[in-house]
Amino acid sequence: MGSDEETRPGVGELAKDTASGKIGVVMGEWAGRVHMRPAGGGVEWDALPHHVVAPSAREELSARLAVRNEMTRSRP
């Protein structure tokens, strides 16, 4: 296992796609691509493995807060 694979977020973890700048949850890997989806749900996208990194603490907090705010707004 290379050092890039050791530090890349695993399935179910938040990650940043540096090519698009999007933060999402890693759904898995297939055909040399990392499959991700937005943290709050939505359409998945594929990223190249070398573009997938752990988000900074600020990016992670922002993504988690956005999901929580959306959940609050969608309640009756």
On the question of pLDDT at 4 being above 90, the answer is no
- The whole-angstrom separation of Cα 65 and Cα 4 is 28
- Percentage of the chain beyond pLDDT 90 is 71
Does the predicted TM-score (pTM) go above 0.85?
Answer: no
Q: What is the pLDDT of residue 44?
A: 95
Alpha-helical (H) ranges within 1-76 are 3-7, 57-73
Kindly report the average pLDDT of the chain as a whole number. Answer: 90
Structure confidence at residue 1 (pLDDT): 46
Quick: pLDDT tens for 10-43.
Answer: 999 999 999 999 999 999 999 999 999 998 889 9
Walk me through the domains of the chain, giving residue ranges and CATH numbers: 3-73 (2.30.30)
